[in-house]
Structure formats: structure tokens, C-alpha cells
């Protein structure tokens, strides 16, 4: 349904074009959940923004994003509006930052349906209340009259999910939707997202820094480093079969809730953005397995892994 091929994005920073996405390719099938993982600056949020066509002004994209045979990067005018209102919806990390604090929850939930889908207010409100019930908010009618500050973070994120589903999208772009929430609330919100995806047949691009969370809720996982997708694998294979040294490093450097180790294995150095990356493999300076080839030649994505040493380690 969604296919991204060799996506490359440059953004102007102080007049200079800077690469924020170097080379990203992956596909998401209808109803599938794809987890995109990476540290800050890896380009995971930019990838989602490119898919939603929400990149900042002046961004230059190369490569292709195809949604149902439509070239997303070339859409304009009415086609783009239709794509954004009917096909994709986005949920952001901080619900409080993406809702107007002086308008009611009802205004927020029904605005898009009234302007884009031409629904009358009572019909839109009826749909909103039904969706609120689906995300576990029983007294939807009352909630529609409330303001954002009267709702907790967890409730507000459920309102965001309901709002994303108002246009019956086929692809949900969820950018760290539970990072600002408590763990028990995160568990609830992920359960709701999982159920709704199953019931409505919605596909999801789930962006997170939490490998374990992505592994638990997604079908497949893509790991990003310095603007490139470095490994892609089924979630079930995450712990056993991940081979890229960066993926392995991420898995082992996280402390475990079930055991204490004397020292955590660390990935030395700090994560890089695409424009800071050296020639060759971007991960080479931090990689324990790097050899001269890694520093000189950029590895290609072969069998879903971007690493020169994949056969040796």
C-alpha cells in the first residue's frame, strides 16, 4: 500500500542544504504495523513527515513515495488535500502541544470532518462520540464540551487517536505517541491502537526510540541511523536474528527490568545526524567491528541489512 524507495531529503539550514534523510526504503502492506526505530537525529520523524507531505518549506526530496499507485511526492492541490484528509492521519508525541487549548474537544474532533468531509455538526459529533467510546472514553458527549486542560495526558492522547480516525484513514503515522505517557497509560493506549487497527484494518507507521515496545506491537521493524535505514526485520526475529551492529548495540545497551549487570555494554560516542556522518558507513566510528572497507565505502542494503561485515559477525 505504501512504498518508499531510496528516499533522500535535504533541508536548508542557514542557507545551506543539509541531508536529513540519506537513503530510506521500505514498504507497508494494508493493515500492517511497521515500527521505525532510531535515536534523536536519525531521521525517523522526518520520514513520517515526508510521507504525510508535512516537511518544512524548502525541503528537497529525491526518490519515491507511492501510496496505492499514487506518487505522493508529486501530489498537489485537490489530490494532496484528499490524500491528507482521507488516506493518512498523524498522531504526535505530545497531545497537549497539538491541540488548541482555547477550543473544546468537540470543536477539535469535528473540525476536519466538517470542513473536509462536508459532515454536519450533529453527524460529526455522533461519529466523534462513537470513536471516543472505542478508545475507552465512555462519556463522550460530556467530553466534547470540555477543554483540553480538563483532560489528563492519557485521555488527551486517546482523543488524538479518535481524531486521527475521524477521516477513516488507511495509514496511521504515529510519532512517539506514548513517549509522554506513564507506562501503565502507554500500555492502555497501545492496546487501544492495536484493537482499532485490527477492527478498522488501518496500517500503521509507528515511530519510537523504544525497541522493546516496537517489537511488541509491530509486525516488522526498521532501524534507522544517521538518516539511513540500516536493518529491517520481522519483530519476532528482533532478539534472535538482528545482525546489524547498531541494532545489536541498541538491544544490549538498554538495562533490563529482570536482571542487573555490573556494567552495561555501551555503544561509544554519540548518535549522528545524516549531515554529520562521515564517508563510508555512517556507523563505522562507533562500531566495534569496523574495518577499513567500512570507513571507505558506503554499504548497500543487502537482504535488509546495510553492513559490510554482515557475513563475518
Shorter beta-carbon distance to other proteins: residue 58 or 278: 278
Instruction: Give the 3-state secondary structure of residue 266.
Output: coil
- 224 φ, ψ (degrees, to nearest 5): -110, 140
Shorter beta-carbon distance to other proteins: residue 215 or 280: 215
For residue 311, count other CB atoms closer than 10 A to its CB: 8
Interface with other proteins in residues 268-287 (CB under 8 A): 268, 270-271, 286
Interface with other proteins in residues 180-239 (CB under 8 A): 182-188, 190-192, 194, 209-213, 215-217, 239
Residue 97 as a binder of other proteins (CB under 8 A): the answer is no
CB of 65 closer than 8 Å to CB of 53: no
CB of 23 closer than 8 Å to CB of 6: yes
- 144 φ, ψ (degrees, to nearest 5): -60, -30
Binding-site member from 39, 111, 298, 304 for other proteins (CB under 8 A): 39
For residue 124, count other CB atoms closer than 10 A to its CB: 20
Residue 120 as a binder of other proteins (CB under 8 A): the answer is no
Shorter beta-carbon distance to other proteins: residue 34 or 67: 34
Shorter beta-carbon distance to other proteins: residue 89 or 217: 217
**Element housing 238 (H / E):** helix 238-241
Smallest gap from Cβ 181 to other proteins, in A, equals 9
- Interface size with other proteins, residues (CB under 8 A): 44
Residue 153 as a binder of other proteins (CB under 8 A): the answer is yes
Residue with cell 481524531: 163
CA–CA gap between residue 290 and residue 287 (Å, rounded): 5
Shorter beta-carbon distance to other proteins: residue 38 or 169: 38
Shorter beta-carbon distance to other proteins: residue 65 or 214: 214
Residue 133 as a binder of other proteins (CB under 8 A): the answer is no
Residue 311 as a binder of other proteins (CB under 8 A): the answer is no
DSSP-assigned states of every residue in 27-61: EE-TT-EEEEE--TTSSHHHHHHHHTT-PPTT-EE
Residue 150 as a binder of other proteins (CB under 8 A): the answer is no
Residue 261 as a binder of other proteins (CB under 8 A): the answer is yes
Of the candidates 90, 91, 61, 92, which has an alpha carbon nearest to the alpha carbon of residue 75?
61
Of the candidates 110, 53, 48, which has an alpha carbon nearest to the alpha carbon of residue 77?
53
Shorter beta-carbon distance to other proteins: residue 39 or 107: 39
Smallest gap from Cβ 162 to other proteins, in A, equals 17
Q: Which residues bind other proteins (CB under 8 A)?
A: 39-40, 153, 182-188, 190-192, 194, 209-213, 215-217, 239, 249-250, 253-268, 270-271, 286
Amino acid at each position: 500500500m505504501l512504498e518508499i524507495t531510496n528516499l533522500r531529503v535535504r533541508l536548508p539550514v542557514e542557507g545551506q542544504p543539509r541531508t536529513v534523510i540519506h537513503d530510506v526504503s521500505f514498504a507497508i502492506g494494508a493493515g500492517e504495523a511497521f515500527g521505525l526505530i532510531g535515536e534523536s537525529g536519525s531521521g525517523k520523524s522526518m520520514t513520517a513527515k515526508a510521507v504525510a507531505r508535512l516537511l518544512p518549506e524548502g525541503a528537497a526530496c529525491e526518490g519515491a513515495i507511492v501510496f496505492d499507485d499514487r506518487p505522493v511526492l508529486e501530489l498537489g492541490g485537490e489530490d494532496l488535500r484528499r490524500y491528507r484528509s482521507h488516506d493518512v492521519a498523524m498522531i504526535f508525541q505530545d497531545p497537549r502541544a497539538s491541540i488548541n487549548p482555547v477550543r473544546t474537544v468537540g470543536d477539535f474532533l469535528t473540525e476536519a470532518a466538517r470542513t473536509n468531509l462536508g459532515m454536519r455538526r450533529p453527524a460529526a459529533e455522533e461519529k466523534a462520540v462513537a470513536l471516543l467510546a472505542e478508545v475507552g472514553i465512555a462519556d463522550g458527549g460530556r467530553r466534547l464540551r470540555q477543554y483540553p486542560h480538563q483532560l489528563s495526558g492519557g485521555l488527551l492522547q486517546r482523543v488524538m487517536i479518535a481524531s486521527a480516525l475521524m477521516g477513516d484513514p488507511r495509514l496511521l503515522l504515529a510519532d512517539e505517541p506514548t513517549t509522554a505517557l506513564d507506562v501503565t497509560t502507554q500500555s492502555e493506549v497501545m492496546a487501544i491502537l492495536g484493537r482499532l487497527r485490527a477492527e478498522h484494518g488501518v496500517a500503521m507507521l509507528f515511530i519510537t526510540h523504544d525497541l522493546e515496545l516496537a517489537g511488541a506491537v509491530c509486525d516488522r521493524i526498521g532501524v534507522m541511523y544517521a538518516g539511513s535505514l540500516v536493518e529491517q526485520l520481522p519483530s519476532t526475529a528482533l532478539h534472535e536474528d538482528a545482525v546489524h551492529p547498531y541494532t545489536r548495540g541498541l538491544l544490549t545497551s538498554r538495562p533490563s527490568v529482570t536482571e542487573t549487570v555490573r556494567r552495561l555494554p555501551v555503544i561509544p560516542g554519540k548518535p549522528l545526524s545524516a549531515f554529520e556522518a562521515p564517508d563510508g558507513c555512517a556507523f563505522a566510528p562507533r562500531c566495534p567491528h569496523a574495518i577499513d572497507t567500512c570507513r571507505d565505502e558506503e554499504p548497500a542494503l543487502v537482504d535488509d541489512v546495510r553492513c559490510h561485515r554482515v557475513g563475518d559477525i
